[in-house]
């Protein structure tokens, strides 16, 4: 395990590497506990490096077996080797070869970084700094090399041998059961994109003809017997390949594209060149085992990793500070893909929900950092929602500002100019500055400034002059280490509607003509005032349409305006936003009343609006399902911003839910019946929308009439033809409680005991039951034979779900939730620091809690940082969380 270093890595300290590695030949002899790796590197001095500098290669827990320079074995006095560094002070300037033999133990590698075992397979994970756990190397993204990989293994144990690039050669080794395969990747790449896999795996094959007519052999490797469950992923892969050609002109470049699904994986998936390795959660699906959400997730992650081939692999990052260069851009591309494959408005709503759920709290708390951070202690902790999701929002904003066509031209310049290089955010932006002729220096602030800007608006109507004056202001609050915030450029998409829902033409002397014609004004300073003319009556303002910038908009319009917006705004995102704002207002009114001991106020206007949505749901069930869903307790905590008491928020939310359920009972029952599944299950957006609406209807029935809801849920649970419906039934039963719930959990377990991905759902759902007994249930589940502290998916399913999605239990006033989390974090930390640190990040918003809970968390964090032997990852999160 790497131990904390007190030396931070800073963006301003970037220096080119002192050496370049043109080619790498790797020779692996796979063995469960003693794999031998021979790496032959062709090196030369980098003209941009420090002249005469020693060659210092990175390592991590490595055992050096032997070392040769230009074929000559080196004696121990000629180099210095420690587990985490290999130093050679005297090396030639011109090209020379270094042959390094190391020995690694894949079975003991519980960190799942480097070469490790997942089930009976060997696999690797090298991003960000895992390659140095395989061999000594210049393990940094700006050192690009051509790789040849030879793998040798026992054929009975590992009939399948894969690495990056194209297959070159394979055969048996005489005199035994061993065989080998050689792969060559002609595209220079950084070490973090290296991968190999060896194992006994089933495979699904297909092929794809690229836009220039080249045939690519596609394969997805999975556990034997699960091949049929990879069909949807294969279909998503082919659609992704076609989409990238059509939308970005990007063609695939190797003869093969391989995907391997493994069950032990720290993250979602990894874009290794030509050999993507996936968490099996994002590959395997069947109607009986996967929900609509799982299918959508598979489609998105398959696309994401495939799109990295151009945005990440062909053009990679100069250093890890530029992570958003590949991640933000690739998330933007996968979001666009999903929008094209499914419903664009529903996709946008779910993107924004995701952003607000994790990124906004991150940006408002002690772990806040810019999309491009300027300092880190542990890079693994920067695979964050800020880098990914906010990073994607920045690319989207850029497109909004310069227009889709100019954006595409900028992308073409980017691909053309930076192909084969390790680039920076500045390189990226320069392409769009050139394409648009705009100065993007203020836009660049979005990359360096942390925190979510607050956009506030104020409107004043003058009935005599028939003018409407809109004042927009922005402010970004200080974040750790950044007190002085400058105004950023905010594209504000807007429209004005008359009271009867007519969209008004925008006329104003305070805006440029193209701002008015596009309905997009730019706020570049702290404040901007716009007076609109020819406004016949007080207008309804639709602001930040389509969520045109990642900001918090304050205040929400008056309720009467929100109700109108929900009825007639032609921007679906803002219709959904209006429903959310109404719900938030209704819940917070209940919170206030509860705090004052007053009777709960009702929200008849909101309820009436929901009735209209429910009755008219047939037009777009997926949208209606989103608009009918109440904000979660996490949403409430974020919106409250301070003095958060999840118990009070949960009670108010449940109160409003009961009010809605009571009022809409008949409509909900009717919708539940109307949206019953017809025909065979299809994982498409239309079917998913109907099922989502039906799940919302079931929840409303249960809210208004628990008995009826329970009966319907039991029936659905028994007869469901797919996992989506079965899980919505179980979710309803979980909330209702009682014997029916326990019986359903038991029968679910019996039915799916052999299916790890389904069991994850079983663990998760139990962990999120919002009642005090859940903490004990979770503790008990930790002794369940199917629980495991070593499988990241299982750990996230139980502990991650508890800490992130069960706020009332996790934040219980007796501290039991915090005890549970910290116990697990400390237990997991020595084995898998990345996963431990990520679990601990669930405390990202602790400073917004009310004082008693805050004190409990602070004590826990102080206790953690005082521990000796903590990993760099966990120490970094705990230390920053206390900032
Ligand atoms: N680049 C991958 C995510 C990833 C990052 C780190 C990993 O190990 C520490 C693994 C995967 C992606 O964006 O999909
Ligand atoms: Zn990615």
Among all bound ligands, the one having the nearest atom to the CA of 113 is 1
Q: What confidence score (pLDDT) does residue 6 get? A: 77
Q: At what angle do helices 756-767 and 723-736 cross, to 10 degrees?
A: 30
From the alpha carbon of 269, which atom of ligand 1 is closest?
Answer: 14
Could you give the angle at the alpha carbon of 228 between the alpha carbons of 223 and 230, nearest 5°? 70
Q: How many domains does the chain have?
A: 3
Instruction: Take atom 6 of ligand 1 and give the residue whose Cα is closest.
Output: 127
State the pairing for strand pair 552-554/454-462.
Answer: parallel
- How many CB atoms sit inside 10 A of residue 178's CB? 17
Instruction: Note whether 115 and 179 are same-domain residues.
Output: yes
Tell me the pLDDT tens digit for each residue of 716-728.
Answer: 999 999 999 999 9
In this predicted structure, the answer to whether residue 878 has a pLDDT above a threshold of 90 is yes
Burial class (CB in 10 A: 0-12, 13-18, 19+), 734: buried
| Contact (CB, 8 A) for 617 and 594 | no
- Which 3 state secondary structure label does DSSP give 87? strand
From the alpha carbon of 380, which atom of ligand 1 is closest?
Answer: 9
Instruction: Take atom 2 of ligand 1 and give the residue whose Cα is closest.
Output: 270
Q: Which of 378, 380, 383, 387 to mutate to test the pocket of ligand 1 (most atoms within 8 A of CB)?
A: 383
| Contact (CB, 8 A) for 655 and 582 | no
Instruction: Note whether 20 and 156 are same-domain residues.
Output: yes
Among all bound ligands, the one having the nearest atom to the CA of 307 is 2
The Cα 740–Cα 729 span in angstroms is 11
Instruction: Note whether 797 and 875 are same-domain residues.
Output: yes
Tell me the pLDDT tens digit for each residue of 823-862.
Answer: 999 999 999 999 999 999 999 999 999 999 999 999 999 9
Those residues whose beta carbon sits under 5 angstroms from the ion ligand 2 are 327, 330
Instruction: Give the DSSP letter string of 450-474.
Output: -SPPEEEEEEEEETTTTEEEEEEEE
Instruction: Note whether 690 and 757 are same-domain residues.
Output: no
Instruction: Give the DSSP letter string of 132-188.
Output: GGTS-B--STT--EEEEEEEEEETTT-SEEEESSEEEEEEEPSSSSEEEEEEEEEEE
Sign of CA dihedral 204, 210, 213, 216: negative
Q: Which of 267, 335, 836 to mutate to test the pocket of ligand 1 (most atoms within 8 A of CB)?
A: 267
Q: What confidence score (pLDDT) does residue 678 get? A: 82
Instruction: Note whether 596 and 668 are same-domain residues.
Output: yes
Alpha carbon of 424 to ligand 2 centroid (Å): 16
From the alpha carbon of 265, which atom of ligand 1 is closest?
Answer: 10
Instruction: Note whether 697 and 763 are same-domain residues.
Output: no
Tell me the pLDDT tens digit for each residue of 600-612.
Answer: 999 999 999 999 9
Alpha carbon of 217 to ligand 2 centroid (Å): 23
Mean pLDDT of 274-279: 99
State the pairing for strand pair 316-317/275-279.
Answer: unpaired
Question: Tell me, what CATH number does 2's domain have?
Answer: 2.60.40.1730
End-to-end Cα, the chain, rounded Å = 25
Alpha carbon of 330 to ligand 2 centroid (Å): 6
Alpha carbon of 267 to ligand 1 centroid (Å): 6
The mean pLDDT of the chain is 98
From the alpha carbon of 304, which atom of ligand 1 is closest?
Answer: 14
Q: What confidence score (pLDDT) does residue 195 get? A: 99
- Domain stop point among 200, 223, 244: 200
Q: What confidence score (pLDDT) does residue 93 get? A: 87
From the alpha carbon of 301, which atom of ligand 1 is closest?
Answer: 14
The Cα 705–Cα 676 span in angstroms is 19
Instruction: Take atom 9 of ligand 1 and give the residue whose Cα is closest.
Output: 127
Strand partners for 201: none
Instruction: Take atom 12 of ligand 1 and give the residue whose Cα is closest.
Output: 270
From the alpha carbon of 327, which atom of ligand 1 is closest?
Answer: 13
| Residue 679 pLDDT class (50, 70, 90 cuts) | confident
| Residue 3 pLDDT class (50, 70, 90 cuts) | low
Would residue 727 count as lying in a domain? no
Would residue 397 count as lying in a domain? no
Q: Which of 111, 141, 260, 269 to mutate to test the pocket of ligand 1 (most atoms within 8 A of CB)?
A: 269
In this predicted structure, the answer to whether residue 94 has a pLDDT above a threshold of 90 is no
Instruction: Note whether 663 and 771 are same-domain residues.
Output: no
Instruction: Note whether 585 and 691 are same-domain residues.
Output: yes
Mean pLDDT of 110-123: 98
Instruction: Note whether 804 and 690 are same-domain residues.
Output: no
From the alpha carbon of 326, which atom of ligand 1 is closest?
Answer: 13
Among all bound ligands, the one having the nearest atom to the CA of 327 is 2
Instruction: Note whether 696 and 762 are same-domain residues.
Output: no
Would residue 119 count as lying in a domain? yes
Among all bound ligands, the one having the nearest atom to the CA of 133 is 1
Instruction: Give the DSSP letter string of 185-220.
Output: EEEEE-GGG--EEEE--EEEEEEEE-TTS-EEEEEE
In this predicted structure, the answer to whether residue 4 has a pLDDT above a threshold of 90 is no
- How many CB atoms sit inside 10 A of residue 147's CB? 25
Would residue 455 count as lying in a domain? no
| Contact (CB, 8 A) for 1 and 829 | no
Alpha carbon of 848 to ligand 1 centroid (Å): 30
Q: What confidence score (pLDDT) does residue 457 get? A: 98
Alpha carbon of 635 to ligand 2 centroid (Å): 26
One-letter-per-residue 3-state SS of 340-378: HHCCHHHHHHHHHHHHHHHHHHHHHCCCCCCCCCCEECC
Q: At what angle do helices 665-674 and 685-704 cross, to 10 degrees?
A: 150
- Domain stop point among 158, 184, 200: 200
User: Maximum distance among all alpha carbons in the chain?
Assistant: 98
Tell me the pLDDT tens digit for each residue of 514-571.
Answer: 999 999 999 999 999 999 999 999 999 999 999 999 999 999 999 999 999 999 999 9
Instruction: Note whether 73 and 138 are same-domain residues.
Output: yes
Alpha carbon of 300 to ligand 2 centroid (Å): 11
The Cα 563–Cα 823 span in angstroms is 47
**Whose structure tokens read 């509860």?**
594
Closest CA to 164 of 308, 274, 27: 274
Would residue 536 count as lying in a domain? no
| Contact (CB, 8 A) for 600 and 672 | no
Q: What confidence score (pLDDT) does residue 261 get? A: 99
Alpha carbon of 312 to ligand 2 centroid (Å): 8
Residue 772 structural domain = 753-883
Instruction: Take atom 7 of ligand 1 and give the residue whose Cα is closest.
Output: 127
Instruction: Take atom 1 of ligand 1 and give the residue whose Cα is closest.
Output: 270
Percent of the chain predicted with pLDDT > 70: 99
Among all bound ligands, the one having the nearest atom to the CA of 833 is 1
Please give the C-alpha separations between residue 687 and each of 75, 239, 289, 468, in angstroms, as whole numbers.
68, 19, 16, 44
In this predicted structure, the answer to whether residue 783 has a pLDDT above a threshold of 70 is yes
Alpha carbon of 306 to ligand 2 centroid (Å): 9
Q: Active-site residue numbers? A: 305
| Residue 412 pLDDT class (50, 70, 90 cuts) | very high
Among all bound ligands, the one having the nearest atom to the CA of 331 is 2
Question: Tell me, what CATH number does 791's domain have?
Answer: 1.25.50.10
Could you give the angle at the alpha carbon of 716 between the alpha carbons of 285 and 799, nearest 5°? 55
Q: What confidence score (pLDDT) does residue 2 get? A: 61
Instruction: Note whether 762 and 700 are same-domain residues.
Output: no
In this predicted structure, the answer to whether residue 1 has a pLDDT above a threshold of 80 is no
Interface pTM, i.e. ipTM: 0.99
Instruction: Take atom 13 of ligand 1 and give the residue whose Cα is closest.
Output: 327
Q: What confidence score (pLDDT) does residue 677 get? A: 85
Would residue 370 count as lying in a domain? no
In this predicted structure, the answer to whether residue 367 has a pLDDT above a threshold of 70 is yes
Would residue 544 count as lying in a domain? no
Ligand 1 neighbours, Cβ below 6 Å, are: 125, 127-128, 266-271, 304-305, 327, 380, 383, 834
- Domain stop point among 200, 230, 263: 200
Alpha carbon of 161 to ligand 1 centroid (Å): 22
Would residue 215 count as lying in a domain? no
Instruction: Take atom 5 of ligand 1 and give the residue whose Cα is closest.
Output: 127
| Contact (CB, 8 A) for 793 and 764 | no
């Amino acid at each position: 395990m790497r131990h904390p270093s007190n030396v931070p890595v800073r963006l301003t300290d970037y220096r080119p590497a002192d050496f370049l590695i043109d080619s790498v030949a790797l020779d692996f002899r796979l063995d469960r506990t003693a794999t031998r790796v021979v790496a032959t590197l062709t090196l030369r001095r980098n003209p941009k490096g420090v002249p005469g500098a020693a060659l210092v290669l990175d390592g991590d827990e490595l055992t050096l077996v032997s070392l040769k320079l230009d074929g000559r074995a080196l004696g121990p006095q000629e180099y210095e080797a420690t587990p985490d560094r290999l130093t050679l002070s005297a090396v030639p300037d011109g090209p020379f070869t270094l042959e390094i033999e190391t020995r690694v133990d894949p079975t003991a590698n519980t960190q799942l970084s480097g070469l490790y075992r997942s089930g009976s397979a060997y696999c690797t994970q090298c991003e960000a700094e895992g390659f140095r756990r395989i061999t000594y190397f210049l393990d940094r993204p700006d050192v690009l090399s051509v790789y040849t990989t030879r793998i040798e293994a026992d054929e009975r144990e590992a009939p399948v041998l894969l690495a990056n690039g194209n297959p070159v050669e394979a055969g048996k080794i005489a005199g035994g059961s061993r065989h080998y395969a050689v792969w060559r990747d002609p595209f220079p790449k950084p070490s973090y994109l290296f991968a190999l896999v060896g194992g006994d795996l089933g495979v699904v094959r297909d092929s794809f003809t690229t836009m220039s007519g080249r045939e690519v052999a596609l394969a997805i490797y999975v556990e034997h017997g699960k091949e049929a469950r990879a069909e949807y992923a294969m279909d998503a892969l082919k659609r992704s390949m076609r989409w990238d050609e059509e939308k970005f002109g990007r063609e695939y470049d190797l003869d093969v594209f391989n995907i391997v699904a493994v069950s032990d994986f720290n993250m979602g998936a990894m874009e290794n060149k030509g050999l993507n390795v996936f968490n099996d959660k994002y590959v395997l699906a069947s109607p009986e085992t996967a929900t609509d959400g799982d299918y959508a997730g598979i489609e998105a992650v398959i696309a994401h990793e495939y799109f990295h081939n151009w945005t990440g692999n062909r053009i990679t990052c100069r250093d890890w500070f530029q992570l958003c260069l590949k991640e933000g851009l690739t998330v933007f591309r996968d979001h666009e893909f999903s929008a094209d494959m499914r419903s664009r408005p529903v996709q946008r709503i779910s993107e924004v929900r995701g952003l607000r759920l994790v990124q906004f709290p991150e940006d408002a708390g002690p772990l806040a950092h810019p999309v491009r951070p300027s300092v880190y202690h542990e890079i693994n902790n920067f695979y964050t929602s800020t880098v990914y999701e906010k990073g994607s929002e920045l690319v989207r904003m850029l497109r909004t500002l310069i227009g889709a066509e100019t954006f595409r031209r900028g992308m073409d310049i980017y691909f053309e100019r930076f192909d084969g290089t390790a680039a920076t955010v500045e390189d990226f932006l320069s392409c769009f500055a050139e394409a648009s002729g705009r100065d993007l220096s203020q836009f660049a602030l979005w990359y360096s400034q942390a925190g979510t800007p607050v956009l506030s608006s104020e409107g004043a109507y003058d009935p005599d002059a028939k003018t409407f004056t809109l004042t927009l202001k922005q402010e970004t609050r200080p974040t750790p280490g950044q007190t002085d915030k400058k105004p950023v450029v905010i594209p504000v998409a807007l429209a004005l509607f008359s009271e009867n829902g007519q969209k008004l033409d925008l006329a104003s002397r305070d805006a440029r003509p193209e701002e008015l014609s596009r309905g997009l004004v730019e706020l570049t300073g702290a404040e901007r005032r716009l007076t609109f003319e020819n406004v016949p009556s007080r207008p309804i303002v639709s602001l930040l349409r389509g969520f045109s910038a990642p900001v918090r908009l304050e205040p929400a319009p008056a309720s009467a305006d929100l109700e109108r917006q929900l009825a007639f705004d032609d921007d679906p995102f803002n219709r959904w936003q209006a429903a959310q704002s109404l719900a938030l207002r209704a819940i917070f009114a209940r919170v206030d009343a509860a705090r004052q001991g007053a009777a709960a106020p009702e929200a008849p206007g909101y309820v009436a609006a929901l009735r209209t949505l429910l009755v008219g749901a047939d037009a777009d069930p997926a949208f209606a399902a989103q608009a009918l869903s109440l904000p979660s307790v996490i949403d409430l905590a974020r919106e409250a911003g301070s003095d958060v008491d999840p118990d009070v928020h949960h009670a108010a939310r449940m109160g409003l839910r009961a009010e809605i359920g009571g009022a809409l009972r008949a409509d909900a029952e009717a919708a539940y019946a109307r949206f019953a599944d017809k025909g065979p299950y299809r994982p498409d957006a239309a079917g998913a929308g109907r099922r989502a609406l039906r799940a919302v209807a079931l929840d409303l029935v249960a809210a208004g009439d628990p008995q009826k809801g329970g009966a319907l849920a039991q029936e659905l649970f028994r007869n469901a033809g797919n996992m989506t419906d079965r899980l919505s039934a179980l979710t309803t039963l979980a909330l209702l409680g009682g014997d029916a719930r326990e019986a359903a959990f038991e029968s679910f377990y019996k039915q799916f005991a052999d299916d790890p991905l389904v069991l994850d759902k079983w663990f998760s759902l139990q962990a999120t039951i919002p009642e005090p007994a859940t903490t004990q249930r979770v503790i008990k589940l930790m002794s369940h034979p199917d629980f495991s502290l070593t499988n990241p998916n299982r750990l996230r399913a139980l502990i991650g779900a508890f800490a992130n999605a069960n706020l009332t239990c996790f934040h219980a006033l007796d501290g039991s939730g915090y005890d549970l989390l910290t116990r697990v974090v400390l237990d997991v930390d020595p084995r898998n620091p990345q996963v431990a640190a990520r679990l601990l990040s669930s405390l990202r918003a602790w400073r917004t809690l009310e004082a008693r809970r805050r004190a409990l968390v602070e004590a826990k964090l102080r206790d953690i940082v005082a521990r000796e032997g903590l990993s760099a990852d966990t120490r970094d999160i705990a230390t920053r969380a206390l900032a």
